[in-house]
Chains A and B, each alone.
Chain A
């Protein structure tokens, strides 16, 4: 047998990838072949050299951080896909001119909705939903479409969907139902101006936050977090941050702010995030470790002078 074969076997033997028979043959060969023995020594030295490489993935915090980011991104995707699905079904069942019309109506409907609330809602105490039979008038939106079946040969399709007629709402901004509508607009409206108005409106009720049942407004909070981390419009992100500040020390919000510190491009927003986190508040909370890690990281390596100094001094203060 050739040396080359044995050279390969030497490597495989170090990975326990040889059969018993191959191993015996190799051992016998090694007793007689000086060259292969040297080769084996060198390989073992190579392995001990390679062992100097340190593992990056061992840290649990890296995994937790990755999970957190993923959750936010998938959430944002799920919200956005609603619009994608509407568009898909329109592509499938309507002629081009009709697509434009219906798409337009869908956007205007939310525009009106949010706009109306901005001017009317704060002064109103009652909540009244009024619907008209708009289906016949062709003003329905199609939402929550679910495809069940599709036959490419015959063109038969089967799906379910909900229709939604444009609704005028008059109500108080502290009403949870109003909040949820606004939250939905915040993450799904295509118009940045509407999203900004929605987040503003949500912000107007935070004064009464303390009296609320914990966990009651998770949907609103997660919409705000999604907006903070993923909205393309800086104004919307800023406004979301300033509303979310009222939820502190909620750990979900803390983590969102840490995420801003880690990934946000805009320095002003990062500064607002770091200034919102008072280290002494979290000393006995589970989230504390993540905060300290982020501050240490920022103190060392943030591009921005202010953020580095701020992180450093905050860390020094809690050590005293």
Chain B
């Protein structure tokens, strides 16, 4: 933590809004990126962003420098992500993703879905794969998905993820391996 940041934190703790905004802007891009990587929806990511920084705002007077300020924020972020329920689920709208599922929830083989168009339109094909990837990620448990998106898509080190999620590296690896195994199974038609 730079001396400059400590000064900002102290000012914000005394109620200086300007200092608070500066602190937010130092870290919020990463918060939003983590959230968006996890929920993959702009609306949900914004919800998470709001909740994270309102918690930061509320918790700031009690922040005691026991960890890096950034670590504290990212811990709040992973916590909020893990307990987040998406707007879609809350409103019980039919998810777009379900259009590719059978009645019993099994994904179609991609070939069936794309029989007429696969050759014609590479873009559609790519979009369909993207959709299938998204579906597969949604079958992961929240912790598996958190670890996987942080590692695979955001490129955090295992050690950093362990710190963010307050667990040891072994546990992070365990979630990562479970997630990968599951994704391999779900996306078999593309990998074998």
The complex places the Cα of A46 from the Cα of B152 at a distance, in Å, of 11
Is A27 positioned at the interface, with any CB of B under 8 Å from its CB?
Answer: no
* Structural contact, B177 and A17, CB atoms closer than 8 A: no
Cross-chain contact B50 with A73 (CB below 8 angstroms) = yes
A200 interfacial by beta-carbon distance below 8 Å:
no
Interface size on A, residues (CB 8 A): 31
CB-CB contacts below 8 Å: B119-145 with A: 126, 129-130, 133-134, 137
> Are A42 and B133 in contact, CB atoms less than 8 angstroms apart?
no
**CB-CB nearest in chain B for A12:** B173
Q: How large is the interface on B (under 10, 10 to 19, 20 to 34, 35 or more residues)?
A: 35 or more
**Looking at the complex, which of A59-67, A155-163, A226-234, A306-314 is the stretch in contact with chain B?**
A59-67
Interface segment out of the listed B1-9, B17-25, B77-85, B97-105: B17-25
Cβ of B85 to closest chain A Cβ, rounded Å: 18
The main secondary structure of chain A at its interface with chain B is helix
Q: Say if the beta carbon of A8 comes within 8 Å of chain B.
A: yes
Cβ-defined contact, A50 with B36, below 8 A: no
| Pairwise interchain contact A46-B191, C-beta atoms closer than 8 A | yes
Could you tell me if A42 and B37 are in contact, using CB atoms closer than 8 angstroms? no
Q: B42 in the interface, Cβ–Cβ < 8 Å?
A: yes
A62 touches which of B37, B40, B42 (Cβ 8 Å):
B42
- Which secondary structure characterizes the binding site on chain B? helix
Residues of A within 8 Å of B25, CB to CB, are 67
A74 touches B54 (CB 8 A): yes
Which residues from chain B contact A15 at a C-beta distance below 8 Å? 151-152, 158
Once A42-B184, A42-B191, A77-B57 are accepted as A-B contacts, the answer to whether A63 and B50 lie under 8 Å apart by CB is no
State in angstroms the CA–CA spacing of A78 and B46 once bound together: 21
- In the bound complex, do residue A57 and residue B33 qualify as a contact, i.e. CB atoms below 8 Å apart? yes
- Complex partner residue of B46 from A8, A52, A62, A74, CB under 8 angstroms: A62
Query: Which residues in B have their C-beta under 8 angstroms from that of A54?
Result: 130
The reply to whether A50 and B54 contact each other, CB–CB distance below 8 Å, is no
A42–B190 Cα gap in the complex (Å)? 9
Residues of A within 8 A of B (CB): 8, 11-12, 15, 17, 42-43, 45-46, 49-50, 52-57, 59, 62-63, 65-67, 69-71, 73-75, 77-78
